[in-house]
């Protein structure tokens, strides 16, 4: 492989990893929001039971 092909290979892998990392961060944030919402709903249900 010549040097330019290796550079494009590096750019491609870098872009792919950045996309994967961004997606994982997005999923973690969504999970945290869901946890907060579930906690809020559980507290609401507990308040209505009492």
The domain locations on the chain are 19-50
Q: Rounded CA gap, 33 and 39, in Å?
A: 10
User: Residue 40: its pLDDT value, please?
Assistant: 97
Question: 1 falls in which pLDDT band (50, 70, 90)?
Answer: low
3-26 pLDDT, tens digit each:
889 999 999 999 999 999 999 999
Question: 30 falls in which pLDDT band (50, 70, 90)?
Answer: very high
User: Residue 8: its pLDDT value, please?
Assistant: 94
Please state the pTM of the whole predicted model.
0.74
Q: Is the pLDDT of residue 2 over 90?
A: no
Element (H, E) at 1: none
Q: Rounded CA gap, 11 and 41, in Å?
A: 45
């Amino acid at each position: 492989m010549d040097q330019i092909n290796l550079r494009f290979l590096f750019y491609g892998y870098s872009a792919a990893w950045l996309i994967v990392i961004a997606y994982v961060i997005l999923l973690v944030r969504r999970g945290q929001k869901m946890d907060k919402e579930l906690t809020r709903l559980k507290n609401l249900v507990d308040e209505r039971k009492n």
